[in-house]
Chains A and B, each alone.
Chain A
Amino acid sequence: MEYIDRLPSMDLMRSEKMMLAQLILPVESAHRAVSYLGQLGLLQFRDLNDDKSPFQRTFVNQVKRCAEMSRKLRFFKDQIHKAGLMLSPHPASETDIELEELEAGLAEHEHELIEMNHNCEKLQKTYNELLEFKMVLQKAGDFLMPDGNHSAAQDTELDENVHINSDYADSASLLEPMRHGYGYMQPGMSDQFGVKFVSGVICKSKALRFERMLFRTTRGNMLFNQAPADDPIVDLASNEMVENTVFMVFFSGEQARKKIHKICEAFGANCYPVPEDSIKRRQITRDVLSRLSELETTLDAGLRHRDAALSSIGFQLTKWMNMVRREKAIYDTLNMLNFDVTKKCLVGEGWCPIFAKTMVIFILDIFHNIADSQVGIIFHVMDSNESPPTFFRTNHFTNAYQEIVDAYGVAKYQEANPAVYTVITFPFLFAVMFGDWGHGICLLLGALVLIAREKRLGSQKLGSFMEMLFGGRYVLLLMSLFSIYCGVIYNEFFSVPFHIFGSSAYKCRDATCSKARTIGLIKVGDTYPFGVDPSWRGSRSELPFLNSLKMKMSILFGVSQMNLGIIISYFNARFFNNSIDIKYQFVPQMIFLNSLFGYLSLLIIIKWCTGSQADLYHVMIYMFLSPFEDLGENKLFWGQGVLQVILLLVAVIAVPWMLFPKPFILKRLHTERFQGRAYGILGTSDMYSDDEPDSARHPHGEEEFNFSEVFVHQMIHSIEFVLGAVSNTASYLRLWALSLAHSELSTVFYEKVLLLAWGYNNFMIHLVGLAVFAFATAFILLMMETLSAFLHALRLHWVEFQNKFYSGDGYKFKPFSFASLTDEDD
């Protein structure tokens, strides 16, 4: 016992010792003090205003201002992104600015930018209009006068046209001659016949519906001419290029004109007046072109100006964003604090690891000296009934393993941390299922690439899949190393056996080796020194031997890992001074597991050492069914029968031992305490009164002891353990099953794909076979199999190992720290 206590403490085994600290900060310097603590990042503030909604808190206005500022910053970022500029990744190192200054600056910048955008938009709009006008003018020329010559016979045709026009609804097939007819329309014609026209530009996607609507409203008394516009135009609302269509509608009558204008308006079509006179038209076109080129230069200048302004903002944007994010975090933290009675100080409570106490005090001292305020900051430790948060100090290497454990549940405060063992057992159990040194080398290369690029990859944002791989790079490293090790033992390299450790001990019966699969091999030399003999591959003894080996091995690993779990529960009980758990839980559990499955492991080892032919199934089954019967040829050692009876008896006794005593003892302890409390009540009533209402010191009332509940709980626990001993041991057989599946799969790919392809004497078939083999190896064996072995290893740790000792109902230590403020809101 003393020896155990004298062992050096393991850092990762128990979470850091925590203390509840109270801080009393003068209001005027609270903000800066909190920002110092944020830089240190080792204090987790408790929310003392839990019952208040966010806008009832003290610093709500500041939080709102920060939100407003970050909105402006997002606006800038968006604008910069739209303008196609880059954010400068390294913040400019200028002198610090105050928040008020920044706020004013941001408002100014925003105002400026909005105005510039507004101007740009106005210019762009005019520009678009002119551009559209230009297109309409160009196309209108084609509509009105395709050939440019005036035929003498036009008058008769025109008459025909008007006639056809009125019958338009009846004969749509006459469209062509009509269109042709209008081609000859000449100046002055509209006055003559009362035919007018409206021309303009409409979005291409709406053109068809537009035409249909016009047709319906005028009951077909119109002519719709259209031509695709030459260049797309920038749509101001969505900032995208839009294809447009130039149209020209001919119609007659005042009523129709009104309706057509309304429809144009409704469809958002821009109408432009086009003079019928071609000379006038040419003149206007010239005007428009000159104005267009003028506008273009103005527009360019405006854009350049805006880009300059944006890039000057972009230079500092990252810094400003960081600053605003910090300010917001500080005010959020300040909102968790309470005012004291005098309203001059803020009172805060928070968890802090004990090792950090001196650092916190040191920081606060420095701050006090700098700020030289009248009132110092008071920092003192308080008692607490609440369970402190769990904090493990991990490094690059152990972090991923701790994450694996935390994914199941965060350890209770100071509970034994399974991550300590997981670091080795996890990759090892993975490798038992993934034993192939060829695949292992592939994984190793991948892991080494990730580790070599650690610095570069760590600083950039990765996709979710890469992020996961990168996070688990050290897990991957150990997994690959162990699978190389296991692969050497299994003698598997993409399912090809290799003679690494000397020559094989076996050889074929004849020269052709035809009977290897049916009858077997003959032993000629010494046993193969390390791992599985390569000659067995494909022989009769391969599968029976490997299955027997892997199955027994799985049970040995399982029993030892479960024993480790129960032993850790002993250390937990010792640590928390819980002797009941040791006597009535640890001891019977240990006895139960080892008298059944510990004995099985012993038998396996004896069988291996002696080379006996005993049937272990038979031994185990008849140990329960008829313990007094003679073992016969299955006897492995002297006194086995007696030992079995004793073990069975002990196991049967262990069950009630772990079920009954504990709840009764708890009940007795509780009644003893209750009797003593007759005097205690008066005393405690005083204690309540001087207690601060929102404090963690607040003692929770003595919990009601419900015997039936405790008993049922204990019963469930015991039954789970007893049944679990069987099912968990069986569960470890997955080590065997997955390992078998992996080797069979790789054999299939090697023999049925690669060797089959090599059988042909054709280069193309070789190439195809190689490609299929490479893909199958990469995707099925390296990715899917890795994933499945990973998941099974995960299960073995979470369920079979951790349920022996791990409660995992703690909560994580989340200190207030600027370092952890990443851009989660972007």
Chain B
Amino acid sequence: MYGFEAMTFNIHGGYLEAIVRGYRSGLLTAADYNNLCQCETLDDIKMHLSATEYGTYLQNEPSPLHTTTIVEKCTLKLVDEYKHMLTQATEPLSTFLEYITYGHMIDNVVLIVTGTLHERDVQELLEKCHPLGMFDSIATLAVAQNMRELYRLVLVDTPLAPYFSECITSEDLDDMNIEIMRNTLYKAYLEDFYRFCQKLGGATAELMSDLLAFEADRRAVNITINSIGTELTREDRRKLYSNFGLLYPYGHEELAICEDIDQVRGAMEKYPPYQSIFSKLSYGESQMLDKAFYEEEVKRLCLSFEQQFHYAVFFAYMRLREQEIRNLMWISECVAQNQKSRVHDSVVFIF
């Protein structure tokens, strides 16, 4: 149901919507990707990117470049843009923008906890964290021994605290636990984000519920595929699925009992929107599934720009930029490792 957003949206959201649409027009184009794919060295990539919006971020880098530097600088640009928008935003847009980063926060928490478990240096781990998911005292995560401590010491101060209610146990941390924690947190996060968007109403609710439902379904499929052959029970697996989305509830019942990839496929093909994704894959193949999902996601994100007066454009822009950075990373890696024939394998075009 549409409200009268057109009347009041621009009072607070108009400026930032214009900004984000401007940012979006700065995304790399088909011609840019064509040229990037023809590059011979990382310097060529730098030279090409210097003609795009990334120019100012890369121009002061000394010449023997590394893929990490390129990715780092490109991410820096995204973070700068995000911070600019966040400082300009008023409620409820600022909360919406903050929600976007919680996913990165969860990933960072998991990264640090796993890293400490394997006795890595904390500083080294911190460098690998996504800058959007940083919060105060993230480094202290290394102190915690189990979930309960993790929550009590550090996370209680962060926005992730409410999501933890499901997974407070006194068990010691191990890889399996951490992975379950990640998925439980993500589930709670997605559900909370979903509720928040529903509360906002209007076009935001409509578009965001679509995008988040896709995200939830994708996670459900990934959880299923990754948990095949592990000791995770069906009930536990079922618990990790988010309680909304196209697959909820009947699809989840089917996914929970899947034992191999073809069964997943059988379950998913009952849903028309996902048929097209699976029809691209041959039987028994799950390698290209990620790319297929990314392509579908990018398509949906781009479509959200077709409507005006809603917040989904911010979400879509952040996601698209992240996809672009992933593309740049893949291209740079391929160029750096002389694997140019594989350049097109993982690049998802954004137009």
Contacts and interface: CB of A to CB of B under 8 A. Distances in A.
Interface of A: 53-56, 60, 63-64, 67-68, 71, 74-75, 209, 213, 216-217, 259, 262-263, 265-268
B60 interface: yes
B12 to A, nearest CB: 29
B340 interface: no
B25 to A, nearest CB: 21
Contact of A266 (B38, B50, B142, B152): B142
Closest 10 CB pairs of A and B: A266-B139, A53-B35, A55-B44, A266-B140, A262-B143, A216-B153, A68-B63, A55-B47, A259-B143, A213-B140
Contact of B137 (A53, A75, A209): A209
B313 to A, nearest CB: 31
Contacts of A64: 43, 47
Given A71-B60, A216-B152, A55 B48 contact: yes
Nearest to B32: A53
Contacts of B51: 54
A56 B39 CA distance: 9
Interface centre among A53, A56, A209, A262 (most CB of B within 10 A): A53
B139 A67 contact: no
B59 interface: yes
Interface string B212-242: 0000000000000000000000000000000
Interface string B45-64: 00110110000000111110
Given A55-B44, A64-B43, A213-B137, A263 B60 contact: no
B171 interface: no
Contacts of A268: 139
A263 B143 contact: yes
Interface footprint category on B: 20 to 34
Contacts of A265: 122, 139
B127 interface: no
Contacts of A259: 143
Interface centre among A75, A263, A266 (most CB of B within 10 A): A266
Interface in B110-169: 122, 136-137, 139-143, 152-154
Nearest to A60: B47
Given A54-B48, A55-B44, A266-B142, A213 B62 contact: no
Nearest to A71: B60
B30 to A, nearest CB: 13
A263 B35 contact: no
Contacts of A209: 136-137
20 contacts: A53-B38, A54-B48, A54-B51, A55-B44, A55-B47, A55-B48, A60-B47, A64-B43, A67-B47, A67-B59, A68-B63, A71-B59, A74-B60, A75-B60, A259-B143, A262-B143, A265-B122, A266-B141, A266-B142, A267-B139
A392 B139 CA distance: 65
Contacts of B43: 64
A64 B38 CA distance: 17
Contacts of B60: 71, 74-75
Contacts of B47: 54-55, 60, 63-64, 67
A780 B153 CA distance: 61
A424 to B, nearest CB: 41
B59 to A, nearest CB: 7
A265 B60 CA distance: 31
A265 B125 CA distance: 13
Interface of B: 35, 38-40, 43-44, 47-48, 50-51, 59-63, 122, 136-137, 139-143, 152-154
**Main secondary structure on A side of the interface with B:** helix
A521 B48 CA distance: 79
A55 B39 CA distance: 8
A216 B137 CA distance: 13
Contacts of A74: 59-60
Given A68-B63, A75-B60, A263 B140 contact: yes
Contacts of B38: 53, 56
B247 to A, nearest CB: 40
A82 B40 CA distance: 37
Contacts of A55: 35, 39-40, 44, 47-48
A267 B140 contact: yes
Nearest to A262: B143
A266 B153 contact: no
Nearest to B34: A53
Given A55-B35, A55-B39, 13 more contacts: A53-B48, A54-B48, A54-B51, A55-B47, A56-B38, A64-B47, A74-B59, A74-B60, A213-B153, A216-B152, A266-B122, A266-B142, A267-B139
B85 to A, nearest CB: 24
Contacts of B63: 68, 71
A60 B153 CA distance: 55
B34 to A, nearest CB: 8
Contacts of A267: 137, 139-140
B142 A262 contact: yes
Contacts of B143: 217, 259, 262-263, 266
A491 B59 CA distance: 61
A816 B52 CA distance: 24
Nearest to B116: A262
Contacts of A67: 47, 50, 59
Nearest to B44: A55
Contacts of B140: 213, 262-263, 266-267
A262 B122 CA distance: 10
Contacts of B59: 67, 71, 74
A213 B138 CA distance: 11
A68 B141 CA distance: 41
A74 B143 CA distance: 43
Contacts of B39: 55
B137 A266 contact: yes
A697 B77 CA distance: 45
Nearest to B144: A217
B199 to A, nearest CB: 31
A63 B60 CA distance: 15
Contact of A71 (B48, B62, B152): B62
A73 B305 CA distance: 42
A262 to B, nearest CB: 5
A566 B40 CA distance: 59
Contacts of A54: 47-48, 51
B73 to A, nearest CB: 14
A188 to B, nearest CB: 31
B29 to A, nearest CB: 13
A63 B59 CA distance: 13
Contacts of B152: 216
Contacts of B139: 265-268
A75 B141 CA distance: 37
Nearest to A213: B140
A267 B153 CA distance: 14
A183 to B, nearest CB: 30
A217 B43 CA distance: 48
A60 B139 CA distance: 45
A64 B43 CA distance: 8
Given A266-B137, A266-B140, A217 B48 contact: no
B57 to A, nearest CB: 13
Contacts of A56: 38
Contacts of B44: 55
B170 to A, nearest CB: 15
A707 B142 CA distance: 79
A263 B149 CA distance: 14
Contacts of B141: 266
Nearest to B35: A53
A631 to B, nearest CB: 55
B158 to A, nearest CB: 12
Nearest to B145: A259
A217 B143 CA distance: 8
A795 to B, nearest CB: 26
A54 B48 CA distance: 7
Nearest to B59: A71
Contacts of A75: 60
